[in-house]
Chain A
Amino acid sequence: MYFASRVLQAVPTLAAAAVLLFAVTHLLPGDPALVYAGPDATPAVVAALRQSMGLSAPLPVQFVRWLALVLRGDLGKSVISGYTVTGLLGQAIGPTFELATAALLLSLLVGGALGIAGAIRGGAWLRTATAYSSLALTVPNFWTAILLILVFSVTLRWLPPSGMASLVRDPASALALLILPAVTLSFHLSGVVCRFTQGTLLEVLREEYIRTARAKGLDAARTVLRHAMPNAIIPLITVVGIEFGRLLGGVVIVEWIFAWPGIGHLIVQAIGNRDYAVIQGSLLLLTVAVLGVNLCVDMLYGLVDPRIRYS
């Protein structure tokens, strides 16, 4: 019941997002016919291309046509490259998922470890964790990316600066190519995770039931893992859920810099070409992804804290 109500709440959000992103896409100045026609096109050519691309119909008619296609599971075709949008997204979703997953895991690992160490050990560990999270929260993605490329690709020549390889066919190259974009993308989120883990854990560690557990002879590690972490993790789930949307935003820049063939890369190109169907399809997919993650977060709340489920 709880799950069903959350899913139903997502439907109007998705509908509103569809209207909004169609409107915003078509409000961009310029259109794909102008891009396709080339710099020396005559008005006759531009008009003929607009006609063949279906851009001469009124906007509401174009929206209804697009929506009808979407409801049938067809996101249309790129008027520039000729590929189907579902085909392009099918090709791009894997790399984006791979990168986003790697970045998420890396940020949880690094940020979580530093946050826990800072909260438990205090002193130099606490100062290190605080400094790390401050740095990670203030440095923009593109700057981190450039710095990493300069150090690890250009100077040390340890890692390739851009591209992607298949994890199945060439795992060594795939890993080498994944490291820089994943580290770049995870950096900000790891700072957030570090700060929240540290803050909530410090708070929980001051609770009386923790003192009781320690007084009864439970060792520090068990006290933290069994009693402190489950309570500290609830606000962290919320933050990670919210930050996932930001992570997907970051994917756009990071994928472009590292020539990572994901959805972000696709969106940047499509915007430059005013390739409406591709922009709309990609943004719709990202909207669904963010809604899906928020839904998962809600589900996790229910699992972690039964009071939420029963209320």
Chain B
Amino acid sequence: MTRWSVVVAAAVLIALAALAVAPVPPRAGGASVLRYALTGDIFNFDPTQLADGNYIMINQLYDSLIREDQDLHPRPRLATSWEFLDNGLVLRLHLRRGVVFDSGRAFGADDVVYNIHRYQDPAVGANVRLQALSVKDVRKVDDATVDLVLDKPDPAIFDLLDFLYVVDRDGVAGIKTTPAGTGPFRLAGRVPGTSSEFAAFDRYWDKGTPALDRVDVRVVADDPALIANLTSRAVDVIQGPQPIHLQSLKQQGYRVTVETSSALFFDVLMNVTRGPFKDKRVREAISLAIDRGEFVRLFFQGIGKPAWLPAARAAHVTYPTGVDAARAKTLLAQAGYAGGFSTTMLVPAAIPGAPALGQVIQSDLAPLGVRVRLELIDLAQIRARWFGSDFEMTIHQYGRANRDPDSLLRGAVVFRPQDNITRYDSGAYAALVDRGATTMDPRARGAAYGEVAKILLDEAFTVTVAAQPRIFVTAPGVDGLTTNLEGMPILGGVHVR
């Protein structure tokens, strides 16, 4: 063997040896640490921002005034009890005592007053600002009591309180980078875009919570990286893997948690001021031609739910039973499009499942002669097109479908009577939505929302397609992961064995 051969062979051997001995990073010795991976980074630490990336931090670093259960019953958090006064126009909140922010300052009524005003300020950009505007005035009664004065009776007020995460008013100036809440954890480290570390807050009001010492949150590139991190045991929990992996993960002993309370739905929007979509028969025909079940089978592997409307089935409303291609064809012919037409559909490329739904719709509409060109674009670009109603058709997702119908119908940009991005504008629809929002009697509300459901099915400006479940997969030995109605993880009760 010559000298050169020896040098090259040695280099190769050293490289291989280095690969073989390099260890996978171990857990910190002794501490109870949860390693959590997801594909989107924390947006910032302001809990008024309900961006997907913020979901991981909100319930760990902050507390809301109440937490709604699956049946929309409010449960105590920072508010321990409540009562309606003055014929439902005042909601009195009794606040928890002994709560401190992570700065050490005590929480009290002034913080609630400050936070409600903050949620109403347009420059803050709170995602539930519209709901917060239903509070006309906030009055401090004493240090532990607050009155919320409402314009009119508001049956959806607890949805707002469930979203109202309280920030320390002394910490608001730096809230984007430095959390200032009363949650079970506090921020211990952060590398923007890559990782965050939460450490147990030893002065948390709920003694014994959290069970963990630390949570290490890691941002990974994409879905394959999520799976690789879990199966290589680099993390204990992954959030939001694509459904196609679930069967195999289950077989390998991982626990799959599918959150089916269905806050989030896929929908197809049609701009009622553009071309063929001006005619409601065309919109209805398209709704009837979409094979929702096929999409759920293909993309969700059967774990999602096909849907025509977001809410529970309303009485006295006739729902379509499935694809009705014959009726769709008749409706198109009646509208003067017997030979079909060409259109473009915007598809948000960043939303997993949206491109798949685009393809399903493209294929479903082809037999009707409707030729759909898919235009895949990123989130910032598609938001500009949505807010400018610059589309003919688009795939979209709306949230908060499992809340009070009023939160959805007056909050979601695809249902609300004002500033609706499909440009649908109807006085009758607006009046019904308003009636449902201000009527406390459940039967009268049910009747109003039944009428709304009929309009949604008949006018088909926003066509609901399927509920999207939120998916978490945990390694063996991890217990106690729960979520709130929104699908945000709650890690206070998590144990790692």
Contact = CB atoms under 8 A, between A and B. Distances in A.
Contacts of B411: 40
B219 A121 contact: no
B384 interface: yes
B387 A34 contact: yes
Interface string B111-140: 000000000001101010110000000000
Interface in A27-86: 28-32, 34-49, 51-52, 80-83
Contacts, number: 196
Interface in A108-165: 109-110, 113-114, 116-117, 120-121, 146, 149-150, 152-154, 157-165
Given A157-B24, A158-B22, 20 more contacts: A30-B379, A35-B380, A36-B125, A39-B398, A40-B411, A40-B412, A49-B125, A81-B177, A109-B11, A120-B4, A149-B224, A159-B24, A161-B229, A162-B225, A162-B228, A170-B25, A172-B22, A173-B25, A176-B25, A259-B220
B316 interface: no
Given A40-B130, A81-B176, A176-B24, A146 B224 contact: yes
A299 to B, nearest CB: 30
Contacts of A52: 123
B399 interface: yes
25 contacts: A30-B380, A30-B384, A31-B380, A34-B380, A36-B49, A39-B383, A39-B397, A40-B127, A42-B122, A43-B419, A45-B122, A48-B122, A52-B123, A91-B192, A113-B8, A153-B228, A153-B234, A158-B24, A159-B19, A162-B229, A163-B195, A221-B3, A259-B194, A259-B220, A265-B193
B392 interface: no
B232 interface: yes
A164 B193 CA distance: 12
Contacts of A258: 221
Nearest to A142: B221
B225 A152 contact: no
A81 B380 CA distance: 16
A45 B174 contact: no
Nearest to A116: B4
Given A113-B11, A149-B228, A81 B129 contact: no
Contacts of A179: 18-19, 22
Contacts of A189: none
Nearest to A159: B22
Interface size bucket, A side?
Answer: 35 or more
A261 interface: yes
A81 B192 contact: yes
B231 A160 contact: no
Contact of A257 (B125, B174, B218, B221): B221
A273 B20 CA distance: 39
Interface in B25-53: 25-26, 41, 43-44, 49-51
A258 B129 CA distance: 37
A196 B218 CA distance: 40
A83 B125 contact: no
Nearest to B42: A81
B57 to A, nearest CB: 12
Contacts of B232: 153-154, 157, 160-161
Contacts of B100: none
Describe A's contact surface by its main secondary structure.
Answer: helix
Nearest to B22: A176
A165 B20 CA distance: 19
A308 B160 CA distance: 72
A274 interface: yes
Nearest to A47: B122
A88 interface: yes
Interface of B: 2-5, 7-8, 11, 18-20, 22-26, 41, 43-44, 49-51, 122-123, 125, 127, 129-130, 174-177, 191-195, 218-222, 224-225, 227-229, 231-234, 350, 377-385, 387, 397-399, 411-413, 419
Contact of A161 (B23, B26, B228): B228
A76 to B, nearest CB: 14
A279 B223 CA distance: 25
Q: Which 10 A-B pairs have the closest CB atoms?
A: A82-B176, A30-B380, A261-B194, A48-B122, A176-B22, A173-B25, A38-B127, A29-B381, A161-B228, A34-B383
A44 to B, nearest CB: 5
Interface in A233-284: 256-261, 265-266, 269, 272-274
Contact of A91 (B18, B176, B191, B350): B191
A23 interface: no
Contacts of B8: 113-114, 117
A175 interface: yes
Interface in A184-212: none
B194 A46 contact: no
Contact of B193 (A29, A149, A177, A269): A269
Contacts of B380: 28-32, 34-35, 272-274
B446 to A, nearest CB: 25
Interface string A78-105: 0011110000100110000000000000
Contact of A261 (B43, B193, B382): B193
A134 to B, nearest CB: 19
Nearest to A254: B221
A113 B383 contact: no
A149 B25 contact: no
A136 B464 CA distance: 48
Contact of B177 (A83, A113, A259): A83
A277 to B, nearest CB: 13
B412 to A, nearest CB: 6
A177 B127 CA distance: 38
B399 A39 contact: yes
A227 B392 CA distance: 70
Contacts of B50: 38
A49 B127 CA distance: 12
Contacts of A159: 19, 22, 24
A27 to B, nearest CB: 12
Which of B7, B11, B232, B384 has the most chain A CB within a 10 Å cutoff? B232
A174 to B, nearest CB: 9
B44 A82 contact: yes
A266 B233 CA distance: 26
Given A149-B225, A259-B220, A48 B125 contact: yes
A236 B176 CA distance: 47
A162 B378 contact: no
A152 B19 contact: yes
B22 A272 contact: no
A37 to B, nearest CB: 5
A234 B191 CA distance: 40
Contacts of B129: 42, 45
B191 A42 contact: no
Which of B175, B194, B219 has the most chain A CB within a 10 Å cutoff? B194
B236 to A, nearest CB: 14
A168 to B, nearest CB: 15
